[in-house]
Amino acid sequence: MRPLVIANWKMNTTLADASVLATLVKNRLHNESRADVVLCPPYIWLQEVASILEVSAPHIYLGAQNCFAGEFGPYTGEVSAAMLKDLCSYCIVGHSERREHFHESSELVSEKVQVVLQNNMTPILCVGEKQKSENSFESVRVMLEQSLEGVGKDELPKIVIVYEPVWAISTNAGDAVATGDYANEICAKIKEIVGDETGVLYGGSVTPENAHEFAGQGSIDGVLVGGASLKANDFVEICKIVGES
Ligand code: PGA
């Protein structure tokens, strides 16, 4: 697969920020990006970012950060995959912040994976252990298998998995960041479960300074970027590093 870089803006940006950021990323990547890029703004700016990407932005796609597991109905405040599909090609599901703050279980995440697939978008399924330990992979394996419950084998190549160790997310650079070798080892084990045709990415405090470490690894097909995706220069630099690896 082409390398993939995903920007998760989380609950950040005003309308003006979102519009400037998307425009800068688009202009600075020109048409030369060798990586596919997915921008995931908050729901409310999706339409604005879609209109910016509409003109001459090949290889830059739009993604949502979450979706509701049903289609339409009396669920105040929710947004369904059926509503997102006209704007988005991708949808993040099971991010650790949703699992933690909104108590999303892997059972619910598996419903979301299926509903995203049914609506012809690519699910970006996030999994990762809370604490680093000798059994790290075991908890990742359980979370992965539960989150993929009910998903047919033939559907696996249509999904992107992101390995995001929770202890390495949103750190201020330094000690807690996972090393490339460690991330590669876990991503390789994930591939043994989902197969080589499924993209497996790393996420957790990726910056222009450490992106080489992850991009150069055999079992890592790209990165998911949170904090650094809010700075156009840093994000574009990461896209270039990943694209050239
Ligand atoms: P971070 O976020 O790059 O700020 O650590 C990654 C994520 O949680 O998606």
pLDDT value at position 31?
Answer: 65
Asked if residue 92 has its Cβ within 6 Å of ligand 1, the reply is: no
What mean pLDDT, rounded, does the chain reach?
94
pLDDT at 206 over 70: yes
Query: 70-102, pLDDT tens digit by residue?
Result: 999 999 999 999 999 999 999 999 999 999 999
Question: Confidence class of residue 174 from pLDDT cuts 50, 70 and 90?
Answer: low
- Bridging pattern class, strands 4-8 and 160-163: unpaired
Residue 227 Cα, ligand 1 centroid: separation in angstroms?
Answer: 6
163, 170, 201: which to mutate for ligand 1, most atoms within 8 A of CB? 170
Q: How many CB atoms lie within 10 A of CB 78?
A: 14
What's 102's DSSP letter? S
Question: Confidence class of residue 176 from pLDDT cuts 50, 70 and 90?
Answer: low
Query: 117-135, pLDDT tens digit by residue?
Result: 999 999 999 999 988 888 8
Asked if residue 203 has its Cβ within 6 Å of ligand 1, the reply is: yes
**pTM, entire model:** 0.96
With vertex at residue 93, the alpha carbon angle to CA 88 and CA 94, rounded to the nearest 5 degrees, is 165
Q: Show the DSSP H helices in 54-121 as ranges.
A: 81-84, 96-101, 106-118
